[in-house]
Amino acid sequence: MTGLCVRCAHLVFPLRPSCVRAATELRSCCDRLVTADDITRRGSHRYRFRMNKSGFVLAVASLATIGGASAQAPSAAPVPGATIGSVSVRVGEQTLTMPYRLMEPTEADPGEQFPLVVFLHGAGERGTDGDTALKHLGPVLATREMRTKHPCYVLAVQCPRDQTWVEPDPRTLNPTMTEQPSMTIRGVMAAMDQVIKDRAVDRERIYLTGLSLGGYGAWDIAIRRPEMFAAVVPICGGGDPTKAALLKDTPIQVWHGSLDGSVPVARSRDMVKALKDAGATVDYREIRNGGHDAWVEAYQPNAAIAFMFKQVRDAPKPASVPAGGTAGDPDARSSD
């Protein structure tokens, strides 16, 4: 059984025996109970139900909806100097608008170009204020030392609380990549295209990283745009191993804690194996006895950050832009 902690919004996999107190009750990793009253009050559509071995019906939090129902995004101070904007995507009759934050180099000479780091946050940072979108990575790259050593753009789009970057299998958290990207992934790609178009971005140094739920998103975007990135760093996430061969020529560093209780370490191991089977060289960093917060170690100046900024690739040819659309997504548009 899998679910989301209804307090901190972290994935809980598998549910510990102590999590389940009684039929129709689910304990989160923060000792918060989802009860039958919660289900009645919030609506049964926010939960998935399964029978356990004793025949009891257990309420299991839905990955895509429980965050919006009860989990509050952790508070985080905005990164100083970050540009505030929003991106909107339209598919058919549906339109989704998401806020984003864009860190920019503090100083630039005329004609100078800079790397772009595209960052996807975890489930706990979902929301609508935009301030938590840069949490965990933004403050690291915002220090005076890092701004001097690695001046760059950092783009972080915020996923709504009631949505997700991708929808993995609720039993195994193993994603099967869909033919079309989710609305939220479309938003990230549209914002990325717009930043590349409007800012002085070095197309040979575009980097992609994400943690937890954002790790899933990073794998998803990387597979959809394998020609785009100089480096990809997914942290405690998972991807579709059947698509891994598309990334065999992309420098990739993968991080995961061996004792991760939220996203199984097997999700990263499977991707690493698939990459190696395809002939790729991948840098896998499994943290011995590490938990879910592998990003704490990964986002150190001499770890994943150093790995990313060392990578340079040939610039991809600019994609053709259909009239009224954004490169790579004719139904997407963004605005500052």
CA Rg, the chain, in Å? Answer: 20
Cα(134)–Cα(121) distance, integer angstroms: 7
pLDDT of residue 78: 60
Cα(210)–Cα(226) distance, integer angstroms: 16
Cα(309)–Cα(139) distance, integer angstroms: 17
pLDDT of residue 220: 98
Q: Out of 3.40.190.10, 3.40.640.10, 3.40.50.1820, 3.10.20.30, which CATH number does the structure's domain 83-335 have?
A: 3.40.50.1820
Q: Write out the residue limits of the CATH 3.40.50.1820 domain(s) in the chain.
A: 83-335
Cβ-based burial of 53 (10 A; exposed 0-12, middle 13-18, buried ≥19): exposed
Residues 6+ apart with CB under 8 A from 290: 256, 257, 258, 259, 260, 297
Q: Following DSSP, what letter does each residue of 120-131 receive, concatenated? A: E--GGG-SSSSG
- The residue whose two tokens read 């039958």 is 36
In order along its 336 residues, the chain shows pLDDT tens digits of 334 443 344 444 333 333 333 333 333 333 333 333 333 333 433 333 333 333 333 333 333 322 222 223 333 456 767 899 999 999 999 999 999 999 999 888 889 999 999 999 999 999 999 989 999 999 999 999 999 999 999 999 999 999 999 987 767 788 889 999 999 999 999 999 999 999 999 999 999 999 999 999 999 999 999 999 999 999 999 999 999 999 999 999 999 999 999 999 999 999 999 999 999 999 999 999 999 999 999 999 999 999 999 999 974 544 433 333 333 343 444 444
pLDDT of residue 314: 77
0.75 cut: is pTM over it? no
Greatest Cα pair distance in the chain: 70
Q: Kind and range of the H or E element at 268?
A: helix 266-277
- Tell me the per-residue pLDDT of 112-147, one tens digit each, with 9 for 90 and over: 999 999 999 999 999 999 989 999 999 999 999 999
Cα(203)–Cα(197) distance, integer angstroms: 10
- Tell me the per-residue pLDDT of 83-116, one tens digit each, with 9 for 90 and over: 999 999 999 999 999 999 999 998 888 899 999 9
In total, the chain counts a number of residues equal to: 336
